Amino acid sequence: MRLLEQRILEEGQYIGNGILKVDSFINHQVDPYLMNEAGKEFAKLFMNISASKILTAEISGIAPAVSAGLHLGIPVVFARKHKPITMPDQVLLTLSPSHTKGRTVELIVSPEYLGAGERVLIIDDFLATGKTIEGLIRLAQIAGAEVVGVGALIEKTFEEGRDHLESMGIHVESLARIESMSEKGIVFHKS
């Protein structure tokens, strides 16, 4: 998606340790127009997978997931990292290592909103090693749901998260694929 690639080139900052800072349009400040365009693009890419629900992880996955849900006409569930008091005692929970947090986080979904028979599309801001997305896949599996697609705004292809997802037979799409990044600049994967 050219609009997203351009924005990454203009405003993305490589801050070392494999981390791309995109806080000016995704992770802290959000560009609603860009998110809406991304949602349309996800809807186009996943039009034929008959997803019944989108699953994402708080926090930065919410904006692209809700945009995609709007254009696909399906609800979104965001996995919580802390169990709120409104959630029942019995929950679906998995642990996931967070690269940017440097520790393990919990991903929690209420069985009220993720159940057997659902066809789940996972949407997140980044696809890097794929650890968070694998956590979401485990949650869907515990619920008895089927994961039919994974979409990310930005993929770091050099962290190879896609390989494992595709080996599970999952349809993977990302809107900007970064092949390498360093102080010298960002190189996109030529598709």
Site residues for a second copy per CB under 8 A: 15, 19, 21, 23-25, 27-33, 35-36, 58-59, 62-63, 65-67, 69-70, 73-78, 80, 84-87, 100-102, 109-110, 112-113
Question: Which residues pair with residue 13 across a beta bridge?
Answer: 21
Closest distance to a second copy from the beta carbon of 168 (Å): 25
User: 35 vs 133, which CB is nearer to a second copy?
Assistant: 35
CB of 27 to a second copy, least distance (A): 7
Give the separation between CA 107 and CA 120, rounded to whole angstroms: 16
Question: 1 or 164, CB closer to a second copy?
Answer: 1
Query: Taking the alpha carbons of 141, 143, 144, 146 in that order, is the dihedral positive or negative?
Result: negative
Nearer to a second copy, 66 or 152 (CB): 66
Of 67 and 96, CB closest to a second copy = 67
Buried b (16+ CB within 10 A) or exposed e, 44-70: ebbeeeebebbbbbeebbbbbbbbbbe
Q: How far apart are CA 159 and CA 148, in angstroms?
A: 22
Q: Are 171 and 141 in contact (CB under 8 A)?
A: no
User: Least separation, in Å, of the C-beta of 163 and a second copy?
Assistant: 26
